[in-house]
Amino acid sequence: MATEGQKVVLVSGCSSGIGLAIAVTLARDERKRYYVIATMRDLKRKDKLVEAAGDVYGQTLSLLTLDVCSDESVKQCVDSIKDRHVDILINNAGVGLVGPVEGLSMEEMKQVFETNFFGVVRMIKEVMPNMKRRRSGHIIVISSAMGLQGVAYNDVYSASKFAIEGFCESLAIQLLKFNVTVSMIEPGPVHTEFEMKMIADVSKKEFAGADAETLHHFRTCYLPSAVDVFQVLGQTPKDIAKCTKKVIESPRPLFHNLTNPLYTPIVALKYADHTGNLSVHTFYHMLYNLGGVMHVSMSIMKCLSCGCLRRRTISPI
């Protein structure tokens, strides 16, 4: 149970990856400013989190069951928190979906939105009224750079992140009146077991319904490029956790928070041309025409930025 002065932090999707890193980072705060309630659908998967938390487990970190796709589960989780009091809600639970859209089932697409969009909406609806009454609170969503810029063969995932970005941007305006802050954390590629397994799985998937030419482009252009991007630009879950903690502790948290400075010019392309042609054609050439040149360019970008990144921790942009 939280002690006086501690902020109660509710985090979804903590069995691994970004959610685990955020929960442990906040629970291990040297000043013990946070009492973290880490959640996951199946508590049988808690071992990694408990091991990473170490001696703070049971002290500044506790566990609850939560399935963001279930109204009942969400309500039961929040009901079990003392006075339903949550100072900081961190919506991290999410799923990915990669591949030619013709080869994806409607059920797969609906599940992405059920988790990435409606899952976040469920959590916010359950926690927000109490924050508004107290006129205090911070709602954080682990979104994606793909919620700002579409990426080929990530159509549905990107759409789910665009949707939650629009929802939260609209909500942020209303909540300012109640002194409740909304922040989006927008990573690019992140090295997690989830991401690596997904790429490995889709490389073997048949995608029935997709034409041969599209499958050829997906397997020979997109997949090798995706691996390159993860290897060259990928961050770690701890990087995202550090950025999230900085946003929480900022006196004036930003709404948009790109975690990777190398993605700033990529996102900026959209805002440089209101027609959208600049970004669409740039990404087309990067995917289909540049090939190895893109990999070399990313490597150079990484090398040039290393000195700067070593001198400072990753900060919101």
Question: Which residue, 295, 273, 238, is CA-closest to 22?
Answer: 238
Show Cβ contacts of residue 89 under 8 Å, excluding neighbours closer than 6 positions: 9, 10, 123, 124, 127, 137, 138, 139, 140
What residues does 256 pair with on adjacent strands?
184
Torsion sign across C-alpha atoms 147, 153, 157, 163: positive
In whole angstroms, how far apart are CA 140 and each of 10, 45, 222, 264?
10, 24, 31, 20
How many C-beta atoms surround the C-beta of residue 84 within 10 A? 14
Residue 271 falls in the annotated catalytic set: no
Burial of 227 (C-beta count, 10 Å sphere; 0-12/13-18/19+): middle
Q: Are 237 and 21 in contact, with CB atoms under 8 Å apart?
A: yes
Candidates 57, 153, 157, 263; catalytic one: 157
* Residue 114 backbone phi and psi in degrees, to 5: -60, -40
Catalytic residues: 157
